[in-house]
Amino acid sequence: MTEIQYILNTFLLLYAGAMVFFMAAGFAMLESGLVRTKNTTAILTKNICLYSLACLAFFAVGYGLMYGDITDGDHAGAADFFFQVVFVATAASIISGTIAERMKFWPFMAFVGVLSAIIYPLQGNWTWGGGFLSELGFYDFAGSTIVHSVGGWAALAGVLLLGARHGKYGKNGKSNFIPPSNLPLATLGTFVLWLGWFGFNGGSQLAMATKSDVNAISTVFLNTNMAAAAGVVTAAIITQVLYKKVDLTMVLNGALAGLVSITAGPDYPTVWLAIVIGIVGSGLTMLAIPMFDKIKVDDPVGALSVHLVAGIWGTLAVGIFNPDVSFFIQLWGVGIIGAFVFVTSFVTWYIIKLAVGLRVSLEDETQGIDIAEFGQAAYTFDDYKQINSEGVR
Amino acid sequence: MTEIQYILNTFLLLYAGAMVFFMAAGFAMLESGLVRTKNTTAILTKNICLYSLACLAFFAVGYGLMYGDITDGDHAGAADFFFQVVFVATAASIISGTIAERMKFWPFMAFVGVLSAIIYPLQGNWTWGGGFLSELGFYDFAGSTIVHSVGGWAALAGVLLLGARHGKYGKNGKSNFIPPSNLPLATLGTFVLWLGWFGFNGGSQLAMATKSDVNAISTVFLNTNMAAAAGVVTAAIITQVLYKKVDLTMVLNGALAGLVSITAGPDYPTVWLAIVIGIVGSGLTMLAIPMFDKIKVDDPVGALSVHLVAGIWGTLAVGIFNPDVSFFIQLWGVGIIGAFVFVTSFVTWYIIKLAVGLRVSLEDETQGIDIAEFGQAAYTFDDYKQINSEGVR
Amino acid sequence: MTEIQYILNTFLLLYAGAMVFFMAAGFAMLESGLVRTKNTTAILTKNICLYSLACLAFFAVGYGLMYGDITDGDHAGAADFFFQVVFVATAASIISGTIAERMKFWPFMAFVGVLSAIIYPLQGNWTWGGGFLSELGFYDFAGSTIVHSVGGWAALAGVLLLGARHGKYGKNGKSNFIPPSNLPLATLGTFVLWLGWFGFNGGSQLAMATKSDVNAISTVFLNTNMAAAAGVVTAAIITQVLYKKVDLTMVLNGALAGLVSITAGPDYPTVWLAIVIGIVGSGLTMLAIPMFDKIKVDDPVGALSVHLVAGIWGTLAVGIFNPDVSFFIQLWGVGIIGAFVFVTSFVTWYIIKLAVGLRVSLEDETQGIDIAEFGQAAYTFDDYKQINSEGVR
């Protein structure tokens, strides 16, 4: 490899890593837009803290478990670590949405620490660290399974132990609609995630110093964009048909479902196939959201439907459409990673629950955890009328 | 061309394309900040859906019309398509602001489909596809005319058939001020657009693999920034002088007017000339906004003044200041593109109006189209006091 | 230098410069989220206008003072100017937060003009322009002192002449808590700044065309990220211990403190040392915020604690931990730059105060400067109930 090639490959990781970092902002905006006003400070605090803790925990422990000794030549580059660490944080970000509006802060952070230091890197090693799934030929280009469904399984384990938000499901079993508080924020978050995904998927080529590498990255950018666009239009049409109204939160989740779906293999399909993969991913997510609600798995932002369901679909789609990849190996990879992450996460959540509890008190939940746990309302728009303790407006 | 040069040129398109993609978020934030609260979900939904549909329609039909067969060697690169497609979406984004607060969703989407598949690519072919305007020497580096004024003409045709918002113009002919709902969002949108414009203009060099290319890109970045900065300061001074108060929405439009103005030729001027072009563009926009209001063309976000007026100015400015470019050819290009886009857009809007109507009912408009057409309020900040159907807060 | 190396170096400045530009959006969002609703339009207007004026003033006067004649070969590249000019704007952005909620617009702009044209470039010349501090071996990689503490000293001089917000300090000397109005915006601003900092610090390597350059940039990206992450977790722990609640605004300032701290030397430390530097910077900021409040220096956004205190710490830390750099030279650089900027800023503010006054009237301050000085409320969320002058909702 020439010096220029080394420079180009390194710069790709830095460029893409910075974009993936920005996905942390996207998750924070998306989730804070979808929860209620009274729980907004909480979700913002969780998002910036989980990103930070994930970085520290993956640096201190996780990277070594996933790729071997950090001083080792091949993987030791700071640029590579920077790119990898922002992926871990993405997996952790998925969880914060699902457990929103009722989980205590520090127990959540404890789980993020365990996920980033141990659970994520152990399963990541099986494929990206050169482990047994890699040897079997399991194909997950940028992490439909390794990042997105992993976050989904960990979130599912948590929410089963945590339970639904108070008042979400009535005594008659009816699901009460809890409206999102700030749709411009949620939309911004979706656009930021979409932007970051170019780095997430494009950077996963890991090199751009040959013509074939940079051509692959071009294909990845284009397919990523088109799968997302297809997910959006699909969601608009489905919600129009089913509910007689285009539903913006569903449309946002359609975009994300398209993105998650294409993530396992954005490099091989034609554009038309990428569009089909996005359409199916979005459609499955549109079905999964009411389905999870029906079985009373209360997921305030739809993260399970987007990251777990579309993540599985995207991984299997590689097995269906890419002739070089075995469908059964894909299924096996999805299953073994899912089983491992679900079980280890469940045990981790369970231990935390026994030790300190996961859930805020009913009183705090009713009041909103912003005031109860964080002491600050997210919005104080009535300050035109506020009088401070000195009697001064 | 060496392999490294190929890589650098391709990467430029991907880098710049991702930035231009992000302009979709900028338009969504700008427009949702400038409309009323009750029409915010609508404008957000339109923005994410128009971007997505524009991508699909331009891929399926438009690119072939503009640049010839997509499998053809020179233009077939995925990277090139990715960069081009985000431009189409920009043209479509301009329209959503002008028709905000009273147009139905699906008729708007139908127009976006026609614009992206047919109208935009046909006129784009005349210059960027090597057609007759290109042969005449018409110069539009990054699209003051081909993107921005095209969006403006299409919006103007639509708004003439659509009419003003109910209550905007009183029986005595007086224009009622309708305040924007969220200025932080509008400001954020402007900054995001400004950022994206570095990709929009910088990427339009289309290559960076020679010293002269990368020097040109540097000039483009700097001139783009300085024209915008000049537009801001101009708007601040003009509104201070005219209205005795610096008007933030005018300042934001001043930034955008500076950006649109420099877009036709950011590569040739000295920095001082770029500043002058930005000043004049901002000044014309400051005049055009009240002028459109006076003739009762109701443009809630000022998009016609920014994209159409400053777009024309910027294109003509190349003819004035660049000795290699004929003013009359510039004028001819502006005129022929304007006439073509206005007429075809008018016919398209008219057919849609006859077929399904363009406008929501007066009742829906009064209530706000968020609830009426999309079933969701954009903000639910009163949830501290909300009681759900179970009697639970 | 080969042509490819020239291209890579130039592109680095453009890439990083665009990211640093986006920090202007970050400051605007951070500050508008932390002030009261009634002063939000004002802070937004100040932020976009200060960026623009700083660009114009630095172009017209400042760059020449800092680096010599702008037509001079070595520094004349447009790409270099673009990267440098966004730094000036950062220094100016720091000030707008500290003087928020009570300073008049045009006097503020006058100061920004003087800072950008004269004060910033004169001291910048001492180190980055090859002046006497550079010759002494003063080390400030990306500007903990030259940008951040400079902004801090200028802000401190201003706030001493401006005084505290009305009602902030009671007659009994008690400090009244004034809650931030929009924490999602403030969080978004912090994430945007964090993103921009990769450009701010990474681009300060100024070259990436050798293996050692790009390796240095990788180290810079990683250390920048880890110092910020450490700052976040430190702030979460400290506020939990001190106040029994994790305080989001403190956490955001912890992130920024980590970023400011590492800025003087992100290129030399190990990751663990970068983490330590971030921890100490965040800890000092957590102490400084209540300390400034105690001595009645009213800084609505905590900018002095973040940019001045952590900026000094970061610069001294290079002297402590980098064996090639003298602690005393670092101390001397901090002191001489601080003395120069504080004195010249104080004189400038004082002249402006004498000439036209700095402060809005008590009546305007009480009403909120959005309506009084800018004529527009930042948010009009009650428009569901609005009736315009025609009696139409």
CATH number of the domain bearing residue A301: 1.10.3430.10
Q: Cβ distance C34 to C300 under 8 Å?
A: yes
Tokens for C264? 């003087």
Q: Which amino acid is at C66?
A: M
CB nearest to B4's CB, from A4, A187, A271: A4
Q: Cβ distance B314 to B265 under 8 Å?
A: yes
ipTM of the complex: 0.96
The runs of H, that is alpha helices, within chain A are 3-34, 40-57, 63-67, 78-98, 105-114, 120-127, 132-136, 150-162, 183-202, 211-243, 248-263, 271-294, 303, 310-321, 327-356, 362-367, 369
CB-count exposure of residue B171 (10 Å: 0-12, 13-18, 19+): exposed
Per-residue pLDDT of chain B (393 residues; tens, 9 = 90+): 899 999 999 999 999 999 999 999 999 999 999 999 999 999 999 999 999 999 999 999 999 899 876 554 443 479 999 999 989 999 999 999 999 999 999 999 999 999 999 999 999 999 999 999 999 999 999 999 999 999 999 999 999 999 999 999 988 878 999 999 999 999 999 999 999 999 999 999 999 999 999 999 999 999 999 999 999 999 999 999 999 999 999 999 999 999 999 999 999 999 999 999 999 999 999 999 999 999 999 999 999 999 999 999 999 999 999 999 999 999 999 999 999 999 999 999 999 999 999 999 999 999 999 999 999 999 987 544 444 445 444
C residues 54-83 lying closer than 8 A (beta carbon) to A: none
Residue-wise over C363-376: b if at least 16 C-beta within 10 A, else e? ebbebbbbbbbbeb
Say if residue A143's pLDDT is above 80.
Answer: yes
Q: Is A234 on the interface with B (CB under 8 A)?
A: no
What is the C-alpha separation between C185 and B192, in angstroms, rounded?
Answer: 14
What is the C-alpha separation between C190 and C207, in angstroms, rounded?
Answer: 27
Chain segment A362-389, per-residue pLDDT in tens = 999 999 999 999 999 999 875 544 444 4
Neighbours of chain B (3+ CB pairs under 8 A): A, C
| Residue B142: DSSP 8-state | S
Categorise residue C262: left if φ over 0, alpha if ψ from -120 to 50, beta otherwise. alpha
**Domain extent for A195:** 2-389
Q: For residue B260, which phi and psi values (nearest 5 degrees)?
A: -60, -40
Establish, for the pair of chains A and B, how many residue pairs have beta carbons separated by less than 8 Å.
Answer: 181
Residue-wise over C107-145: b if at least 16 C-beta within 10 A, else e? bbbbbbbbbbbbbbbbbbbbbbbebebbebebbbbbbbb
Residue A103 pairs in a beta bridge with A359
CB-count exposure of residue B197 (10 Å: 0-12, 13-18, 19+): buried
C residues 353-392 lying closer than 8 A (beta carbon) to B: 373-381, 383-384, 386, 388-390, 392
State the pLDDT at residue A236. Answer: 98
Residue A11 pairs in a beta bridge with none
Three-state DSSP state, B380: coil
Say if residue C392's pLDDT is above 80.
Answer: no
| Angstroms from C348 CA to nearest CA on chain A | 31
Three-state DSSP state, B376: coil
Q: Enumerate the residues of chain B whose CB falls inside 8 A of the CB of residue A176.
A: 388-390
Work out the end-to-end distance of chain B between its first and last CA atoms, rounded to an integer number of angstroms. Answer: 67
CB-count exposure of residue C361 (10 Å: 0-12, 13-18, 19+): middle
What is the C-alpha separation between C67 and C65, in angstroms, rounded?
Answer: 6
CB nearest to C8's CB, from A7, A15, A25: A7
CA-based nearest residue in chain C for residue B4 = C4
Categorise residue C296: left if φ over 0, alpha if ψ from -120 to 50, beta otherwise. left
Closest CA to B359 of B32, B102, B42, B15: B102
The runs of H, that is alpha helices, within B244-326 are 248-263, 271-294, 303, 310-321
How many residues are listed for chain B in this entry?
Answer: 393
Tokens for B14? 């991907």
Indicate the pLDDT class of residue C159, thresholds 50, 70 and 90.
very high
Q: Cβ distance C190 to C26 under 8 Å?
A: yes
State the pLDDT at residue A382. Answer: 59
A residues 20-39 lying closer than 8 A (beta carbon) to B: 36-38
Say if residue C379's pLDDT is above 50.
Answer: yes
What is the C-alpha separation between B45 and B112, in angstroms, rounded?
Answer: 14
Say if residue A248's pLDDT is above 90.
Answer: yes
0.90 surpassed by pTM = yes
Tokens for C52? 């623009």
A residues 101-130 lying closer than 8 A (beta carbon) to C: 105-106
State the pLDDT at residue B77. Answer: 76
Three-state DSSP state, C326: coil
How many residues are listed for chain C in this entry?
Answer: 393
State the pLDDT at residue C164. Answer: 96
Q: For residue B65, which phi and psi values (nearest 5 degrees)?
A: -65, -35
State the pLDDT at residue C49. Answer: 98
CB nearest to A390's CB, from C176, C179, C368: C176
Tokens for C79? 């790409």
Chain segment C293-329, per-residue pLDDT in tens = 999 999 999 999 999 999 999 999 999 999 999 999 9
CB nearest to A246's CB, from B78, B105, B185: B105
Average pLDDT of the residues in A117-129 = 95
The CA-based dihedral angle spanning residues B288, B290, B291, B292, taken in that order and rounded to the nearest 10 degrees: 90
| Residue A359: DSSP 8-state | B
Q: How many domains does chain B have?
A: 1
State the pLDDT at residue C73. Answer: 44
Q: Cβ distance B310 to B257 under 8 Å?
A: yes
What is the C-alpha separation between C350 and C345, in angstroms, rounded?
Answer: 8
DSSP string, C141-204: SS-IIIIIIHHHHHHHHHHHHH-PPTTSB-TTSPBPP---SBHHHHHHHHHHHHHHHHHHHHGG
Do the Cβ atoms of C45 and B251 come within 8 Å? yes
CB nearest to B246's CB, from C185, C374, C378: C374
What is the C-alpha separation between B119 and A128, in angstroms, rounded?
Answer: 46
Q: For residue C103, which phi and psi values (nearest 5 degrees)?
A: -95, 145
State the pLDDT at residue B386. Answer: 45
Q: What percent of chain A has pLDDT over 90?
A: 90
- Most distant pair of Cα atoms in chain C: their distance: 74
Rounded to a whole number of angstroms, the CA Rg of chain C reads 21
Q: Is B245 on the interface with C (CB under 8 A)?
A: yes
